[in-house]
Amino acid sequence: MDACRADGLFSVICSAYRTQERQEELYFEEAERCLPQGLSFEDAQQEAGRSVAVPGISEHQLGLAVDIVDMDNRHLDESQECTAVQQWLINHSCEYGFILRYPNEKSSITGIIYEPWHYRYAGREHAEQIHRLGVCLEEYLDELQSGEAR
| pLDDT tens readout for residues 109-131 | 999 999 999 999 999 999 999 99
115 in active site: yes
CA 39 remoteness from chain centre: 26
Q: Determine the Cα–Cα distance for residues 9 and 22; give it in Å rounded to an integer.
A: 30
Q: What is the CA radius of gyration of the chain?
A: 16
Amino acid making up residue 28: F
Q: Determine the Cα–Cα distance for residues 150 and 105; give it in Å rounded to an integer.
A: 23
Predicted pLDDT of residue 32: 94
Q: Which of 25, 95, 105, 115 is catalytic?
A: 115
Per-residue b/e over 118-149, b at no fewer than 16 CB within 10 Å?
A: bbbbbeeebbebbbeeebbbebbeebeeeeeb
Predicted pLDDT of residue 150: 58
Predicted pLDDT of residue 147: 84
Predicted pLDDT of residue 13: 97
Q: Judge residue 66's burial from the number of C-beta atoms within 10 Å of its C-beta, 0-12 exposed, 13-18 middle, 19 or more buried.
A: buried
pLDDT digits (tens, 9 = 90+) for 30-54: 999 999 888 999 999 999 999 999 9
pLDDT digits (tens, 9 = 90+) for 73-121: 999 999 999 999 999 999 999 999 999 999 999 999 999 999 999 999 9
Predicted pLDDT of residue 40: 92
Task: Please compute the mean of the pLDDT values over residues 125-143 and round it to a whole number.
Answer: 97
Predicted pLDDT of residue 104: 93
Task: Please compute the mean of the pLDDT values over residues 133-139 and round it to a whole number.
Answer: 97
Q: What is the mean pLDDT of the chain?
A: 95
The two most distant CA atoms of the chain are separated, in Å, by 49
pLDDT at 149 over 80: no
Task: Please compute the mean of the pLDDT values over residues 142-146 and round it to a whole number.
Answer: 92
The vertex-28 CA angle with 44 and 89, nearest 5°, equals 95
pTM of the predicted model as reported, rounded to 2 decimal places: 0.89
Phi, psi of 12 (to 5 degrees): -135, 135
